[in-house]
Amino acid sequence: MNEPSPLPVLDVHTHLAGIGQGNSGCFIAPKKFDSLLYKLMRKKMGIYDAHKQGVLDEAYRARLEKDVATAAEHGALHAAVVFAHERIYTDAGEIAPTGQEMYVPNEHLFDSCERARGRFVPAMSVHPYRKDALDECHKWIERGAGALKWLPNSQGMDPRDKRCAPVFDLLAAKKVPLIAHTGGEHTVSIIKPELGDPEVLRPALDRGVTVIMAHCGTASGIFDTHWMPDFCKLARAYPNCYGDNSAFTTPGRARWSARILREEGVVEKLVHGSDYPVPPNAWWSFFSLGWSRTREIQRIWSFLERDVRIKQSLGFPEVVFTNAARLLAPGSLEKWGIRGSSR
Ligand SMILES: [Zn+2]
């Protein structure tokens, strides 16, 4: 029998979003906001028309908080790591004049976390090509950032660029993990596909940063490169290399759960994450879960709770659900009022 775990169960991968209503400072490009995928997510979240009342940003934040609260009531998890979303910067270190699709300022993220104390932990997003990158990272770490979030292939930072080194040294010194997207991406556009390769994160690993490779380098669409073997190689070679299983309950990635669970020496390096607001769907794992379990799980209202239940049923071990609590910046959970319970 395992001892009851005192560590909180966290979802390490959830997105905040908005269009700037209520002075949030957020931005979603209209062509994205009106796309079929975004309309589907808005509908599933029950906020389809919230923008018409001018309350989209708050409706989104409140829905995410309720997803966490409901999952917590049912004993599925305790809290979620919530992401800011940095803008694209040019190689010259300027905000890219075109191509911006999404922006969630750190200010709005931290404000949202203040309002959802005990439920949210902030992951700041700061582009390393910004001239004030180090100061910004310092500032948000001081304010309790649990992690730094990057999407190299969509935001344009190359972790091998020399401007990243001082950021890595700061993260390593403060024990703040880097959550970096790896593999294909279809929710925002990719500008540099080659930066989805887990290998590009080696300089961060070499400088002692704890790196959580989001999606473990897996392919999502049929034309994506599949870098999961490269992720597994790094996870085995570096004690500070981890991967999250976010979006493994969606059509593009459901096929990878069974595969990664067979990877010895890698399974214990996995970190649970959902990729909220992408709706998790048990039907993609029907052959593993069976008819009655699939239907039972699919009826769960909270996306976050449903995602936990699918992954527990597929056999992801307990350590996967508690790893985040050990990896986030020291003191960040206490700072945001998050505690585990003997389950
Ligand atoms: Zn994501």
pLDDT band with cut points at 50, 70 and 90 for residue 3: low
pLDDT at 342 (0 to 100): 47
Question: 15 alpha carbon to ligand 1 midpoint, in Å?
Answer: 6
Tens of pLDDT, residue by residue over 168-199, are 999 999 999 999 999 987 788 898 999 999 99
Question: 342 alpha carbon to ligand 1 midpoint, in Å?
Answer: 29
pLDDT above 70 as % of the chain: 98
Smallest Cα–Cα separation from 243: which of 219, 210, 206? 210
Q: Tell me the two tokens of residue 108.
A: 């709005």
Tens of pLDDT, residue by residue over 248-298, are 998 889 889 999 999 999 999 999 999 999 999 999 999 899 999 999 999
pLDDT at 343 over 50: no
pLDDT at 57 (0 to 100): 98
Question: 151 alpha carbon to ligand 1 midpoint, in Å?
Answer: 9
Question: 215 alpha carbon to ligand 1 midpoint, in Å?
Answer: 8
Pairing of β 120-124 and β 102-103: unpaired
Which residue is it, tokens 């979030």?
149
Question: 81 alpha carbon to ligand 1 midpoint, in Å?
Answer: 11
Question: 13 alpha carbon to ligand 1 midpoint, in Å?
Answer: 6
Question: 3 alpha carbon to ligand 1 midpoint, in Å?
Answer: 32
Question: 4 alpha carbon to ligand 1 midpoint, in Å?
Answer: 30
Smallest Cα–Cα separation from 245: which of 72, 68, 11? 11
Domains and CATH numbers, the chain: 10-335 (3.20.20.140)
Tens of pLDDT, residue by residue over 210-246, are 999 999 999 988 888 899 999 999 999 999 999 999 9
Question: 2 alpha carbon to ligand 1 midpoint, in Å?
Answer: 32
b/e per residue, 311-336, with b = 16+ CB within 10 A? Answer: bbbbebeebbbbbbbebbbeebbebb
